[in-house]
Structure 1
Amino acid sequence: MSDTSNGRKGLELEETLKEYFWQAGYFAVRGVPFRLDDEDVTDVDVWLYERPAALNRRRLIVDAKNKIKPKAAERLIWARGLQSALNVDGAIVASTDKRPSSHRLSKSVGVTLLDGDAINKLAGAAKLRVADQYSSEEYDGLFKAVDAARRSVEWRTALLGARSSLLTNFGIHSANMALRVAGFFAEQAILAAPKSDQAQVALRGFYSTSAYAAIGLDFVLADLAFQSHEDRRASLITGVRYGNTNVREALMPIRTAIGLVRQHASNGGSIAAQVERGFDEQAARVPAEIIAEYVARLSATDGLYSVARELERNAFKIDIFHFDALSAEARSLLGVFLDFHGVSREKIAHAASGSFNKTSAAAEGGSLFSEDAIRSSKGRSEGP
C-alpha cells in the first residue's frame, strides 16, 4: 500500500475520531499546531476539551495512526511525552495494533489505547459519517484559497495562530489571541463583497475563533467559580486587559520596568510618571468591561461551552447558518465580541447573507441587535 493511501486513511481516521468525540459531548479540533518560539514542532491530530461539571475542565490529546505496520509502543511513549510537555489531562493513541503487549504498555504509561478492533468499529459506524460538514482539510482549504487569491498567507496564518494557542497558552491568553483573530475576520467579512465566497469564509473564521475564545474564557471561569460576581468581573477585566486575571501578577513586570526607569534614567521620576500614565490610559481604552460583564454571569452554567460547540459546528457546515438562524445565546455572545471590537453587528449580519430577517430572529429568542438578546443568556444554556 502506498504512502499516499496510508496518509489518506490516517486523515479519515482523524476525522472519524473527531466526530466520535464531538458526538460524545467534547469540543474537538483537528490539526492543532504545537509551536515553540514561532517554530512548528509537531501537531496534535485531535485536541479535546471537556466540561464534565461546573468546576471541572479536562483537556486531552489524541494521536491517530492508521498504518499497515503500526508502531503502537512508539506512539504511546511519544503521546505520553507530549501530554507532559503540554500539561494536559490525558492522552489517547488510536492504532491498528492489537497486541496484548501494547495494552500493557498503555496502562503502564497512563495513555489510553484505542486498538484495531475499536478503530474498525468506529470506521464502520454510519452515524460518524457526517455529510453536511466540511472535513478539516476542506475547511482549511477555504482559507488557503482566499490567501491564494489575495497573494497572501494572512488568513491561514491568523486561523492557525488562534488554533495553536489552544495548546500552549490555553485560558485567558488563548482567549485574548482568539478574540483578536475573531475581530480580524469580522472586519474582513465587512470589507468583502456581500454574499461573496470571501465573505462566507471570513464569517466561518469569525465563528470558529469566537468559539476558541469562548472555551478559553470557560476554562478561566473554573478558577473564578468561588469568587463573588464583582470579583469575577474584576478578574476578567484584568485578564482581557493584561493577559492575567491576577492584577498584581499582571502589573508586576510593568511596575518593575517603570521602577527601573525612575531609578536609572535622567529625569527618571518625570519620565516614569509619563510612561505609567500613558500605559494606564492605553489599558483603560481596552473595553474589557463589555466581555467581563457578560462572561461573569455565566460561571454557574455551561453557556459558553454550549455556544462554543454551536459556533464551531456551524463554521464547518457546508451550508453555513447565518446570524438569524443561530440560537439567541450564540447571537448574544457574538454581539458582545463585535461590540468589544467596535464592529457593526448589522454590517456583519448583512455581510455574508445579504439580508437579515429580524422577525424570525426575534421569534427564536431575540434579535442580534437587541439588548434583550445579550441578557437572554443569563441562567440559560442551549446545545449545538
Structure 2
Amino acid sequence: MNAKPNSEPKKTGKKGFETEEIVRSYFLGAGFFVVRGVKLRHGGDELTDIDLWLYERSATLARRRIIIDIKDNAQPKAAERLFFVKGLAELIQVEATGIATSDTRRSLRELARKHNVLWIDNADLQRLKSSQRLTASSRLSDEDLGEFIAKIDASRSSKNVRDAFASVKSAVADRFGPSCANTAIDGAQYFAKTAVEAHPGSLPAQVFTRLAYFSAAIAAAALDFASGESALRPHHERLASLTDAIRFGDDPKGTAEKVRWAKAAIRDYTPNGASLAEIFHTRFNEALQSVPAESLAEIVVKMTNSDRLFNAARDLEQAAFLIECPSFDDLTIDSKSFLGAVLDFVAIDRLAFSQAWNPPKHVPTSASAKEVTTSASALSSSEGIVAPADHGKLL
C-alpha cells in the first residue's frame, strides 16, 4: 500500500520566532530591558522556555520583572497559556505577566484584566506586524546570533559556546540578582578571554565580543535590581552590601555559616584539627579579600544613584545584537565604564579586548541604536498599546 502523501505544510516555527522578535522590539522601544528565549532550569534539566523576560526600572525604588508568553498560530490555546504563565510567574516569583496571542476572544481579554495579565491579542499583533518601524530592524534576531554561535561551535567540534550563552540567559529566570550577576560576570570573562584569543577582526572575535556585551548587560541589569534593596541606605552601607553580593552571591550570611560549619568539621574530625581549621579559615578569608569586588561595587553604587546602570544594560544588550556590531571604543560612556570595570574585575586587559573587534567606521552604529529606540517609541505612541511614558502602568 502506498503511503498517504502528507498534505499539511511542514511546521518550522518561523512565524512564531518572527512574532517574538517584533514583540521584543516593541518592548525595547518602550524602555524595557528584554531577554528572549530564556530556558528555566532546575537540577540540570530544562523545564520550560520563557518567550520574553522583561526588566523595568521606572524609579529609584521601583523595579519589576515581567514574563511574556507568545503564541501566534492557528490554535494558540490562549486560556491554557494564561493559566500556565500565571503559575510560572508565581513559581519563579516575578512581579507581572503578559500574553501575546493570535486569539481574538473578548472574554479572554476580560479574564486577563481581572487577573492583572497584560493581554496583546491578534488585533494588537497585526498592528505591530504592519509597522515598518519594527519589522525593518537593524538588529540580529536570536536565530541569527544562534547561527553564528553554531558555526563557532562546529569549528571547535563542541557545543560549549551555545551552552555558556544559554547558561547566562537562564540565570535571569530563577535567581535574578547577585547570583545571576555572578553567573553573567563569569560568562563575560569566558567570552572576553576567547575574543582576545581569536584572530582580530574575525567572525569568532565578533561573536565572542557580542556575547561579552550580552553577558555584561545581564550583569548590569541584575546588579541594578540587587541595588534596590539598599537604595536608601548611606553610601558606605550600599558599598558594603554590593561588595558582599559580588563576593558571595545571594546569601552572604549563608556562605559565612557554611564556612563556620566546615571549620568546625575540620577541627573536630581531622588530626591536628584545631590548627588546620585556623589555616583553612585564614586562607579562605584571604582568598575572598583578594577578590577586587570593591572597585566593581563602587562603579555599581555610583551608577545606581540614577538609572545609569539600567541604561548601560540596555545599551550593552543593543550592542550585542546590532547588525553592525560596535567596537568597545564605540560603546556609550556608561556601558563602556561598566564593561571596563567588569573586565578589570576578571583580569582581562581592556586594550586587548578593544582590539579583538574593531570594525571599519563606515556605519555610525550609535545612530543605528537610536533609530531602533526612536522608531519603536514612535510606534508605541501611535499604536496605543504601551507608550514609553506610561510603561510603568503596563498592567
Normalization by structure 2: what TM-score?
Answer: 0.86
Q: C-alpha displacement at 1:143, in angstroms?
A: 1.2
- The Cα RMSD (Å) is 1.7
Q: Identify the match of residue 70 of structure 2 among 49, 64, 79.
A: 64
Describe how 1:276-291 pairs up with structure 2 within 5 A.
276-291=281-296
Q: Identify the match of residue 53 of structure 1 among 56, 59, 82.
A: 59
CA contact (8 A) 2:21 2:141 kept: yes
Q: Distance in 2 between matches of 1:302 and 1:108?
A: 32
Q: Identify the match of residue 222 of structure 1 among 204, 228, 250.
A: 228
Q: C-alpha displacement at 1:44, in angstroms?
A: 0.5
Check 1:94–1:354 CA distance in 2 against 1; reply closer, same or farther (3 A cut): closer
Q: C-alpha displacement at 1:174, in angstroms?
A: 0.5
Deviations 1:295-335 (A, max 9, x none): 12223211111111111111111111112221222221121
Q: Distance in 2 between matches of 1:47 and 1:183?
A: 24
Confirm whether residue 275 of structure 1 aligns to residue 280 of structure 2.
yes
Structure 1: which amino acid aligns with 2:142? S
CA contact (8 A) 2:24 2:34 kept: yes
Q: Distance in 1 between matches of 2:224 and 2:184?
A: 13
**Aligned residue number for residue 305 of structure 1:** 310
Confirm whether residue 252 of structure 1 aligns to residue 257 of structure 2.
yes
Confirm whether residue 341 of structure 1 aligns to residue 346 of structure 2.
yes
Deviations 1:29-55 (A, max 9, x none): 110110011111111001100001111
**Aligned residue number for residue 365 of structure 1:** none
Q: Distance in 1 between matches of 2:210 and 2:34?
A: 16
Gaps (5+ residues) in structure 1? 357-384
Q: Identify the match of residue 144 of structure 1 among 150, 160, 172.
A: 150
Q: Identify the match of residue 157 of structure 1 among 146, 163, 171.
A: 163
Q: C-alpha displacement at 1:67, in angstroms?
A: 1.1
Q: C-alpha displacement at 1:186, in angstroms?
A: 0.8
Q: C-alpha displacement at 1:342, in angstroms?
A: 1.2
Give the 3-state SS of the residue equivalent to 2:176 in structure 1: coil
Q: C-alpha displacement at 1:71, in angstroms?
A: 0.9
Q: C-alpha displacement at 1:108, in angstroms?
A: 4.1
**Aligned residue number for residue 38 of structure 1:** 44
Describe how 1:1-384 pairs up with structure 2 within 5 A.
2=9, 4=11, 7-244=13-250, 247-353=252-358
Structure 1: which amino acid aligns with 2:336? R
Q: C-alpha displacement at 1:134, in angstroms?
A: 0.6
Check 1:283–1:355 CA distance in 2 against 1; reply closer, same or farther (3 A cut): farther
CA contact (8 A) 2:327 2:359 kept: no
CA contact (8 A) 1:79 1:111 kept: no
Q: C-alpha displacement at 1:294, in angstroms?
A: 1.2
Q: C-alpha displacement at 1:59, in angstroms?
A: 0.4
CA contact (8 A) 1:185 1:203 kept: yes
Q: Distance in 2 between matches of 1:277 and 1:240?
A: 20
Q: C-alpha displacement at 1:195, in angstroms?
A: 0.7
Q: Which has the higher contact order (CA 8 A, sep 6+)?
A: 2
Deviations 1:223-243 (A, max 9, x none): 111221111111111111111
CA contact (8 A) 1:194 1:354 kept: no
CA contact (8 A) 1:70 1:97 kept: yes
Identity of aligned residues (%): 36
Deviations 1:245-277 (A, max 9, x none): x64343122112222332343332122112111
Q: C-alpha displacement at 1:354, in angstroms?
A: 7.3
How many residue pairs match? The answer is: 354
CA contact (8 A) 1:33 1:43 kept: yes
**Aligned residue number for residue 362 of structure 1:** none
CA contact (8 A) 2:326 2:358 kept: no
Normalization by structure 1: what TM-score?
Answer: 0.88
CA contact (8 A) 1:195 1:351 kept: yes
Q: Distance in 2 between matches of 1:109 and 1:261?
A: 53
Deviations 1:87-117 (A, max 9, x none): 0011111111111331233234432221111
